[in-house]
Structure formats: structure tokens, C-alpha cells
Amino acid sequence: MLNVVLITGISGSGKSVALRLLEDTGYTCVDNLPVPFLEEFLYRAQDTGIERVAVAIDVRAPGDLHQLPGTIAHLREAGLPIRVIFLDASDHTLIQRYSESRRRHPLTDRLRQEGQSPSLQTCINMERHLLAPLRETEHVIDTTDLTPGQLRSWVRDLVQAERAPVVLTFMSFAYKRGVPGDADLIFDVRCLPNPHYDPALRPLTGKDEPVAKWLSQFGTVENMINDIAGFVERWLPLYMQDTRNYLTVGIGCTGGQHRSVYVTEQLALRFAHHSPLLIRHRNQPPADLPL
């Protein structure tokens, strides 16, 4: 049976956030689908074996929005279950969001053509009037005080979508080459003892046994690894609750060769139970080049 979620509601209430969440959880998503195409699209999707579809329809659909409640009822009577999520927010919040994004309300041109004053408040009032039949009969989420992460979590729970596991990446890097822009958390291990000053260890990396053995003899190195691992272990569930898909932990030392590589490898061992888990060494030279 085709699983259908229809996202609608007031412009600026978070429909794009909700639709992107559904897309990330495996739904085939269509934004701003004209109402007359809804039935044909859903039946075609069902015939082609698509299992999950999410559609966003709102006042951008020109002239046909009044047909949407009847179309939904007809599809439900025909045995096609449709879960409708209506997103709303207070006028004050909507105005603030429009001010921050500097976007035009989709009803601005329509009101101007009808000879009305296209103020933002007028557009919001008209939109509420047009969408009132849907708001009165479908599930409503008020996003006034919700963060985007909370909204994604609420929508996910409502449609009972599976939570995709967070891709956890531990990445070593060299401060002398700059902090990586894709790291979410940064830990500086330049305070640890440096194998670089041992001529026998200098050409090796933190992945080599002699360097690993040398670093493991220091209690400060073990304490640093324990502290970073404890921090990530404590806060990772909250990052997952925020519906984050990726979490990259950057470990930096001066050259990105010894200490950061060793700590990164040790952290990866601590979190070997997490899947998917990635290990990246950003500034390791190719194997065929001298270090």
C-alpha cells in the first residue's frame, strides 16, 4: 500500500523543512504540485511500485486550492490513505521569519492584481482564509516556538519514519594547514607530547606501531582520549535527536601526522560499535611520497 504524506499550511511555517526531512528518510517528494494532478500522480506512483510519497501543496497552487479537501476525501474513500500535516505559526512569528528571509509572500502578486494592498499581514490573512477548511479537519503542528530540529523530529515521529543513523566521522588534521570547514566539533591535541622531535619517529605517522607505543606511555595522552570520547559519547544522542545526519569530529595537531592521527585512530576504536563510522586523515601525504 502506498504511504502518502501531504504537507500543507501557512507560508513560512516550515513546510520546506518538513519536506526535506521526509526526503531524507526515503520519501519521493514533490513540492508545489497542482491540485488537479494529485490523484493522477499518486495512482501512477502506486502503479510503479513507489512505497512512500510526500507532496507539498499550498497557496502557490493557482486557483485550485478549494478543490483540495474534496480531492483528499475522494482518495481516502477509494482506499488510499493520506496523512495530512498542516503547519501553522503565529502572525508575529511569520512576519519575523519573512523579515529575516526577505522573501515575498506567494499571494503578493495575486492581491495586487485584485486591487488590494499587498501588505504582508493582508497576505497572511488571505492565506488563513483560503486554508481554513484544511486546518479545521487535519492534523496541525504549530511551529511558533519550534526550532527546525524540533520540527523535523515531530514530523518524523508523526509519520513513524525510520531514523537514519548519524554518520560519525573522526578526522585528523594539521593546524598549520587550516581548520577543516566540515568539522562539527574540533579538539586541539597540540598540548600532547610530540613524536616529531624523535628522529626515529619523525618519518612515521600515528598509525605506525612505534609512534602508537611511544604516545601510549603518556598518561596525558590517555586522559585526552578519554575526555574526548566521554564528550562525544555524552552528546552524540542529542545530536541524533536533532535529526542530524552527519557528525564530524576533528582532531588537530601541528602537522596532522602523529598525535592527531593516533588520537583519531584510538577514538575510532572506542566507537567501533557505532555504524556507520568513518575515519579520515586530512593531511596525510600519499604513501609514495616522503614525509
Which amino acid is residue 286, in one-letter code?
Answer: P
Give the separation between CA 43 and CA 54, rounded to whole angstroms.
Answer: 13
Residue 9 marked in a binding site: yes
Residue 99 marked in a binding site: no
Residue 55 marked in a binding site: no
Q: Which three cell numbers stand for residue 231?
A: 564528550
Please give the torsion angle defined by the CA atoms of residues 60, 64, 65 and 66, in that order, rounded to the nearest 10 degrees.
Answer: 160
Q: Which three cell numbers stand for residue 117?
A: 494592498
Instruction: Decide if 18 contacts 155 (C-beta within 8 A).
Output: yes
Residue 13 marked in a binding site: yes
Q: Report residue 123 CA to chain centroid gap.
A: 30
Residue 101 marked in a binding site: no
Residue 152 marked in a binding site: no
Coil vs helix vs strand at 101: helix
Residue 16 marked in a binding site: yes
Give the separation between CA 173 and CA 123, rounded to whole angstroms.
Answer: 51
Give the separation between CA 110 and CA 114, rounded to whole angstroms.
Answer: 6
Residue 76 main-chain phi, psi, to 5 deg:
-65, -40
Residue 181 marked in a binding site: no
Residue 10 marked in a binding site: yes
Residue 216 marked in a binding site: no
Give the separation between CA 89 and CA 145, rounded to whole angstroms.
Answer: 8
Q: Which residues are annotated as part of the binding site for GTP?
A: 58-61
Q: Which residues are annotated as part of the binding site for ATP?
A: 9-16
Q: Which residues are annotated as part of the binding site?
A: 9-16, 58-61
